[in-house]
Structure 1
């Protein structure tokens, strides 16, 4: 996931849009491409470009799969461990991955006390709280429904932009997307049946988890914009803080496991090392290479993969309203992320004069 500041954070599951600021790597590649064009690049550059294109598409597919399977990993993990224990393992394994990369790259964690204080809040809003809510939710709802609820995050973000009177003013199209998206949520839940067959508490927890992300992004945008630290350093510190928070809370509300079943343990490891640690590294690379607009399209593949994984591997039941509602949610989310096309200045006819 990422923040609205342009700093990708290690908050997986995300429906978050990737970084929105210009990337030095992207700028460098653009400049190199322009220079090659001016010099008349040789035809040998074409296979290289095609190989690079295939490379980002493969990483995009891996990121979609990893985040889509995260909800299956949560479900399997909670079959052997308490929800808070699953979440603690998740952030701990994710932090280890990012810290290992920090050591290899010889980067340092932030030193400012102010930065650590704000990251403590971000770790709670973007990691500890939503991850825990999803884990508790999947005790009573299918992983497919949790994945679809996760896709409502852009809708919550749009709603908050209206309430908070942010500078990103909503357009009619985006407001329509908001209404369409929540109509999709009602369709998924079978509102016309009185939500029969759906655990309301678990569903509210999953929706609450998706609401945490835009709240966290707004906080980070207002408190950590312009901080002179790399995305990797900030996210590593954030996951360390989330691990510390859960390490304090988990023993208070759970008892230590008496056994460590291998399948749930592997699921928690995959959830943290892949779905939280490796996924961040892939996302950061994609944003730098292809830009945030294309990279954020991963959002629309996550519920599809989560649904397919839940049905195929966990044998979860799927009624007609679930996929139909999911498509409506995704259509609404896409509309809320749309931007008006820049108007083109009128071009005078050839041969005309201007006064």
Structure 2
């Protein structure tokens, strides 16, 4: 029987939000370092297994109940593949050919992908004209990042960047899928995260003979990077994210998207000595503008400024548990 958890204070939630952004922003550095001794598939395999084991310890300690419905387990298995296995493999493969900073920038396209999937594929939201404009602005930002005027490297760079867009499309698909099929299952944030990562890890275990067997070269930096990527980035940070999501609501919690690329770019430059071209941060700013439009943030901000808050009434962000992500939804993650 699960024990009821006491609601965290505002300072604790803010701290977990910042830590989550730092850890997820660092994930691209950890992947890059891990690739020095492991194959892309081995990096994805290790992070999922370590993340699943870490979350499993918390589930046991909290005595969390697992769902009994076969339907819920089926949906969670689908999410384990679309939200974990596929994007983790794509990002790890892509980072053989691009910098960790650029990978963190591409990860920021997740909210735009989510708007597209939720509005056009699953139709759980009706996109407003301003949101469609945001999608187009986001696409323009991606084109600035790719910089086709500089010439296209069809052997490495462009396929890698398309792979990262494929990964964020997987995230967008999964977030919309969550709202469509698992938003009212009653699972706790911890249970959802454990099933999501744990079933993804189970899939990777089944695929071990196909994708994960091969030579490895383990040294201290590689081992530490993979442990941090798995235990923190794919384990503990999920709990921090879900705490923030439920305390602040999806809109405020999703602003972690703005932290991760900054952390990723800075760490790539400082730790790995990566170079950054002017078009990458410029494109990132255009993408962020697209995110604001796609999530209809500007209109919401105008409404808040124009109408005084009613005393004692919770904001929509904090109280609406039916929006994408408020139950077990995820993040704009790596």
User: TM-score normalised by the shorter chain: which range applies?
Assistant: 0.7 to 0.9
The 1:333/1:94 distance shift into structure 2, 3 A limit, reads same
In 1, Cα distance between the equivalents of 2:117 and 2:245? 25
Bigger drift between 80-89 and 190-199 goes to 190-199
Bigger radius of gyration: 1
CA distance in 2, matches of 1:81, 1:165: 37
Q: 1:128 to 1:336 in 2, by over 3 A?
A: same
In the TM superposition, residue 88 of structure 1 has moved relative to its aligned partner by 1.0
Q: Cα–Cα, structure 1 residues 167 and 88, in superposed 2: closer, same or farther, change >3 Å?
A: closer
RMSD: 2.4
User: What is the CA distance between 1:200 and its match in structure 2?
Assistant: 1.0
Residue 134 of structure 1 aligns with which residue?
91
Structure-1 residue corresponding to 2:31: 74
- The structure 1 residue matched to 2:50, chosen from 74, 93, 99, is 93
* Contact 1:84–1:250 (CA under 8 A) maintained in structure 2: no
Structure 2 residue aligned with 1:333: 291
Kept in 2, the 8 Å contact 1:188–1:322? The answer is yes
Q: Could you tell which deviates more after superposition, 145-154 or 133-142?
A: 145-154
Answer whether contact 1:25 1:288 (CA < 8 A) is retained.
Answer: no
* Aligned equivalents of 1:335, 1:196: Cα separation in 2: 31
Q: Distance in 1 between matches of 2:216 and 2:88?
A: 23
2:224 corresponding residue in structure 1: 266
Alpha-carbon distance in 1 for matches of 2:14, 2:95: 31
1:119-166 per-residue CA deviation (whole Å, 9 max, x = no partner) reads 111100000000010000001111111111111112222233443371
By how many angstroms is 1:311 displaced? 1.1
CA–CA distance in structure 1, aligned partners of residues 184 and 124 of structure 2: 18
Structure 1 Cα separation of the partners of residues 12 and 118 of structure 2: 35
1:112: Cα distance to partner?
2.3
Q: Does the CA contact (< 8 Å) of 1:25 and 1:289 recur in 2?
A: no
Say if 1:94 and 1:272, in contact at 8 Å, map to a contact too: yes
User: CA distance change for structure 1 residues 318 and 74 in 2, over 3 Å: closer, same or farther?
Assistant: same
Does the C-alpha gap of structure 1 residues 119 and 71 become closer, same or farther in structure 2, counting only changes over 3 Å?
same
For the 8 Å contact 1:125–1:212, the answer to whether it is kept is: yes
CA contact under 8 A between 1:109 and 1:236: conserved in structure 2?
no
Count of residues paired in the alignment = 299
Deviation per residue, 1:180-201 (Å, 9 max, x gap): 1111111111122233597111
- Write out per-residue CA displacement over residues 13-63 of structure 1, whole angstroms, 9 at most, x where no aligned residue: xxxxxxxxxxx989x89xxxxxxxxxxxxxxxxxxxxxx544333322211
Q: Is the 8 A contact 1:183 1:328 kept in 2?
A: yes
The one of 204, 209, 216 aligned to 2:167? 209
Structure-2 separation of matches of 1:61 and 1:194: 38
TM-score calculated relative to the size of structure 2: 0.82
Q: Gapped runs of 5+ residues in structure 1?
A: 1-23, 30-51, 346-355
Residue 313 of structure 1 deviates from its aligned partner by 0.8
